[in-house]
Amino acid sequence: MAELPDVRFLTVAEVAELMRVSKMTVYRLVHSGELPAVRFGRSYRVPESAVADAVQRPVSDVG
């Protein structure tokens, strides 16, 4: 069996807390493809490294 890399997955609630946004915003990011996630049953898990990348990514203000 191949070894899995050390990847830590976070729940949507944990991601929302880290990014200081609502859970709905995290779901929107996941569904739009801006934040990669894996679906486990009815819930999503987001790789911790993807959250770190998203937080460091520059934000463009549209409006």
User: What is the full per-residue pLDDT of the chain (63 aa) written as tens digits?
Assistant: 566 678 899 999 999 999 999 999 999 999 999 999 999 999 999 999 999 998 888 766 665
- Give the DSSP per-residue string, 13-59: HHHHHHHTS-HHHHHHHHHHTSS--EEETTEEEEEHHHHHHHHHS--
**pLDDT value, residue 22:** 96
Tell the residue number behind the tokens 């739009």, with chain if given. 32
How many other β-carbons are positioned within 10 Å of the β-carbon of residue 7?
11
pLDDT of the residue at 60: 65
pLDDT at site 63:
56
Which letter, b or e, does each residue of 25-38 get, where b requires 16 or more Cβ atoms within 10 Å of its Cβ? ebbebbeeeebebe
